Amino acid sequence: MAGRYTAGVRMVSASRAFLVALLLLCACGRSTQERPSPADRPHPSILLITLDTTRVDSIGPEAKGVTTPSFNAVVASGRRFTQAYATAPQTLPSHTSMMTGTYPGGHGVHENARTLADRQPLLAEKLRDAGYRTAAFISGFPLVRRFGLARGFALYDDELPRGGNERGAKETTDRALAYLAENAQQPLFLWVHYFDPHAPYEPPEPFRSRYAHDPYRGEIAAMDEQLGRLVAAFRQRAGRDAAIVIAGDHGEGLGEHGEAQHGNLLYQGVMHVPFVIAGPGIAAGVVETPVSTRHVYDIVLACAGVGAEANLAAAPREVVLGEAMIPFLQYGWQPQVMAVEGSTKAIHAGTIEVYDVRKDPGEMHDLAATADLSRDMRKVLLEYPIPSLDAPPSSTTLTEEERKRLASLGYITADVQPAIRKDAPRPRDMAPLFETLDKASGLFVAGEYRQALPLLEHIVAKDPHNLMAVLRIAAAHSALGDNAQALAAFHQAETLAPNSPDVRHYLALHYAKTGDWERATPMLERIVAETPDRLPALEALAQSRERQKRFEEALQLRQRIVTLSPPGAPELVHLGMLAMETGRTDVAVQSLEQARALQGRAFQHDLELGVLYLSARRLEDAREALDRVPDTHPAHAMALFKRAQVSVLLGETDRAARIAAARAAADATTRELIARDRLFR
């Protein structure tokens, strides 16, 4: 069984025939005979718009219960793929497919909060190398720079409102329009991502009132208005040669098949997405053949005339694939793979379900008993690579803050590699638990342990092999100080997964928390040796080293922590103090300066900074820092003493008065220092 979950099985190659069709689409308008050589061919500007959480039936001319005139106008002038499928029902994996041209099985990002490997070539890099000016404006936390899609963009605007996880379509559009106004040079590759339809559904006015009965569609209507502004401005700037590509990243369950949002299942509500391309020479019309949105990559390159010749070979029709691995990665439930050919859709999740999505778009009638799947379809379903569970779970390199932000968007960040077993449940059969899982995770990450516990216990009652839930029960009891209950839950976790490094990790953190450093420290040492990127273990081991007064080692651990995750001011101050303790003046100055830059007037370590500057003979800096120490500082006497030293060294005219002031304010510590100081004689 291990082979099944670890082997890098061959991926199905993209349909060349489909690419040829695309190339012809984008090359129209110029006769192939007269086509200039690639070097002289003008590159058109390209606008890629991605619509988060947009169901195909909630946008476009046939949308129900909502009008989307801006999108419809692009559709009217362009080519619409009516059977387009996301590669995965979550933001980061789906966008990573569009930016790499590969399924998640190829690029390896199966869920949010993973980071794309550096070696994977990206669409924007290719276009940049071909001479494009590249810019991206993204609107949701799952796509911020650190998750890996910024490579190749000269500008990657992921600045979200302070403390927020998303930016509204109006603000994102305002920024993109300002950019367009300032950057007239061509060709341009502009990617704009809208996040509005993602939960919570809170459209701005007038859409809030207009769609009070259906705020999800209200968000779509509000987004559509901004999409209209963007397309108009882009067309005006980029000229008649410009191309526009619009694709959804996934839909929203809205209760279908028991799924309120997205991420857990592969049904049409979340996988069937809007997809349209428009530009010169692209004949308006409809393509009914199933297509994956990973072809955004090929379409954009073909429109740009970049590397397209390599794709000119005929090949068989493509079976469109998709996956939903989150329940597998988080709870060990069956991995889910989807394949679509014509109107036949099959879902493999332990068993195979088959639907005719044209006749039965609600997927109410499973045809598995009678359907005859093609050989291609069976093959791709069985050969699709299942993610390896060798790597540590996704959240080990996230900060608390980042975990909270993802949780507030309804995303569960896995702490734990699940216990894998053949008879694991199918995610669709566990749908009644989805809401409880989301709620429990939100409460747990927010530190609401008392409220999380009954939900977690309900989950374990229904899904006894759910290692993450069992460990969270243990961690919640630990945090609440219920030692015996915590240890009982840890014991249960060890029974479920005897060799799990995650169980050891949680247990070590529990021992550290209860002050049992004798047990905790050797466990932490082993965890850090095995997986050096686990932030909580690094943090706890650094604490242990500080307790042992092994400050050099503590400093090294804390330096590693700040390279793994962007530190806040408290972490920087802590690092600075540790560096002072070990005589690393350079590290101490740098850390405190960074903390001060983050904190501004709230920074409380000007005295330490002044002392450090003085010892580094940076006298002007020392004077400024010491002058900032307030009278109310508990060690103000020390500040006056150090300031007097600086004054003497700088030869200031008021140095005598400063020495007198230091003497007058002296306390037990500084009195002796002043008496002994040669500078004051």
**Residue 406 C-beta: closest distance to Zn ion, Å:** 12
Q: Which is nearer to Zn ion, 166 or 249 (CB)?
A: 249
> Considering the complex, what minimum distance in angstroms separates the CB of residue 85 from Zn ion?
14
Q: What is the CA radius of gyration of the chain?
A: 29
Least distance between Zn ion and beta carbon 242 (Å): 26
Q: At a CB cut-off of 8 Å and minimum separation 6, what does 412 contact?
A: 326, 330, 437, 438, 441
Helix (H) or strand (E) holding 340: strand 336-341
Minimum CB–partner distance for residue 246 and Zn ion (Å): 14
H-helix or E-strand containing 355?
strand 351-356
Please give the Cα distance from 143 to 192 (Å, whole number).
Answer: 12
The three-point CA angle 452-457-462 to 5° equals 130
Please confirm whether the linkage preceding 206 is cis (ω < 30° from 0).
yes
| Closer of 249 and 363 to Zn ion (Cβ) | 249
Q: How far apart are the first and last CA of the chain?
A: 81
Closest by Cα among 107, 101, 128 to 299: 101
Quote the least distance from Cβ 52 to Zn ion, whole Å.
4
What is the torsion angle, in degrees rounded to the nearest 10, for the CA atoms of residue 256, residue 258, residue 260 and residue 264? -100
The nearest distance, CB 295 to Zn ion, in angstroms, is 18
Altogether, the residues listed in the chain come to a count of 681
By beta carbon distance, the residue nearest Zn ion is: 91
Helix (H, G, I), strand (E, B) or coil at 339: strand
The tokens describing 470, both together, are 């069992």
User: Which is nearer to Zn ion, 52 or 571 (by Cβ)?
Assistant: 52
Give the shortest CB-249-to-Zn ion separation in angstroms: 4
Q: Are 144 and 158 in contact (CB under 8 A)?
A: yes
54 vs 330, beta carbon nearer Zn ion: 54
**Smallest gap from residue 109 Cβ to Zn ion (A):** 13
Shortest approach of Zn ion to residue 51 CB, angstroms?
Answer: 9
Give me the least distance between CB of 95 and Zn ion, in Å please. 8
Whether 153 contacts 124, CB under 8 Å? yes
For Zn ion, give the closer residue by CB, 93 or 392: 93
141 vs 613, beta carbon nearer Zn ion: 141
Taking the complex as a whole, the smallest distance from the CB of residue 555 to Zn ion amounts, in Å, to 40
Which residue bears the tokens 């028991």?
Answer: 258
Residue 288's Cβ-side half-sphere holds a number of Cα atoms within 13 Å equal to 5
Tokens read off for 381: 């379903």
Q: Which is nearer to Zn ion, 52 or 111 (CB)?
A: 52
Min dist CB 182 to Zn ion, Å, is 29
Q: For residue 161, what are the contacts with CB-CB under 8 A and spacing of at least 6? A: 167, 171
- Given the complex with Zn ion, which of 94 and 336 has the nearer CB atom? 94
Strands 155-157, 291-292: pairing is unpaired
Is residue 367 within 8 A of residue 355, CB to CB? The reply is: yes
Judged by CB, which is closer to Zn ion: 111, or 502? Answer: 111
Q: Phi, psi (5° rounding) for residue 399?
A: -80, 165
Which token pair is 89? 């029902």
**Residue 422 neighbours by CB under 8 Å, 6+ apart:** 1
Q: How far from the centroid of its chain's Cα atoms is residue 346's Cα?
A: 29
Residue where the block lists tokens 């909630």: 58
Distance CA 251, CA 188 (A): 29
Would you tell me which residues interact with Zn ion (CB under 5 A)? Answer: 52, 91, 249
- CB of 59 closer than 8 Å to CB of 51: yes
Q: Which two tokens stand for residue 162?
A: 């302070």
- Cβ proximity to Zn ion, 253 vs 425, nearer residue: 253
Q: Which is nearer to Zn ion, 52 or 402 (CB)?
A: 52
Six-digit token pair at 209?
């009132």
Nearer to Zn ion, 253 or 567 (CB): 253
Distance CA 621, CA 643 (A): 11
Specify whether the CB–CB gap between 173 and 192 falls below 8 A: yes
Smallest distance, Å, CB 250 to Zn ion? 5
| Minimum distance, C-beta of residue 383 to Zn ion, in the bound complex (Å) | 27
According to DSSP, the β-strands at 79-81 and 285-287 are parallel
Give whichever of 52 and 341 is closer to Zn ion, judged by the CB atom.
52
Tokens 């060890």 identify what position?
A: 494
What does the alpha-carbon distance between residue 406 and residue 165 come to, in Å, rounded to a whole number?
8
In what helix (H) or strand (E) does residue 84 lie, and over which residues does it extend?
Answer: strand 84-85
Nearer to Zn ion, 296 or 588 (CB): 296
Q: Which is nearer to Zn ion, 249 or 502 (CB)?
A: 249
What DSSP element (H or E) covers 574? helix 569-581
Shortest CB 248 distance to Zn ion, Å: 8
